[in-house]
Amino acid sequence: MKTLIFNGSPRKNGDTITLINEFVKYIEGEYKIVHAYYCKIQPCIDCRYCWKNEGCRINDEMQGVYKYIQECDNILIASPLYFSQLTGQLLAITSRLQTYCCAKYFRKVKPIKKEKKGGVIIVGGGDGTIKNAYTTACTILHHMNSNDIAPVVYTHDTNNIPAKDDAKAMESSRKLALFFNNKA
C-alpha cells in the first residue's frame, strides 16, 4: 500500500506535522510526503499544454508526484488554516492538478484510473472556520480520484492547546491511518 501526503505547513515542528507524524506511526506500507514549502514545484502557469496533451509541460518535482498519484492507494491533505483556507503554498502546488481537470473536460479521458481513499487534516489557531478549507481539500482529493473520504481530522485551538495535547485530534489521526489500512 502507498500513501501520498501533502503537507501545507511551513513549520517543520509545528502542529500540522505533529498530526502527520501521529498518522504515519500507524499507516501501513510506504508513504511519500510532499512538503509544500520545501519542495521544488512551481504553480500552474495556465500555459494550456494539458488541454491537448497528457501531463504538464513544467519539468520539476511534480513529475514524480504525478507518478506517485497514479500508483498510490491513499492521499492525505494536511494544512494549517490561513484565513480559513489551506495555505497558499499548498494551493499553488495543487494548482498543478489542473492537468487532471483538462484531461477530463477537454480531452475526455479519465486521467487516474485507480480509485483512492482520501483524508484531510486541518490545524487552526482558534479563529475562523474549517469549512472552506475542508471543502477545498475535498475538491482537490476528488480530482485525484479520491472519492472515499474519511471524516476530517482537526484541531482548532492550537494558540492555546498544542496538537500534541489535543487527545481527540491525535486519536483521529490514528483512526485515519486505520481507515486507510482498511481496519476502521
Q: pTM (2 decimals)?
A: 0.96
Instruction: Give the Cα separation of 92 and 86 in Å (integer).
Output: 10
Task: Return per-residue pLDDT of the chain as tens, 184 residues.
Answer: 999 999 999 999 999 999 999 999 999 999 999 999 999 999 999 999 999 999 999 999 999 999 999 999 999 999 999 999 999 999 999 999 999 999 999 999 999 999 999 999 999 998 778 999 999 999 999 999 999 999 999 999 999 999 999 999 999 999 999 999 998 6
- Taking the C-alpha atoms of residue 26 and residue 2, their distance in angstroms, rounded to an integer, is 13
The number of folded domains in the chain is 1
CATH of the domain at 114: 3.40.50.360
In terms of residue numbers, what domain contains 140? 2-180
Residue linked to cell 497558499 = 88
Taking residue 12's Cβ as centre, other Cβ atoms within 10 Å add up to 10
Q: Residue ranges of the alpha helices (H) in 53-154?
A: 62-71, 88-94, 98-105, 131-143
Distance separating alpha carbons of residues 30 and 3, to the nearest angstrom? 6
How far the first Cα of the chain sits from its last, in Å, is 16
What's CA 8's distance to the chain center, in Å? 8
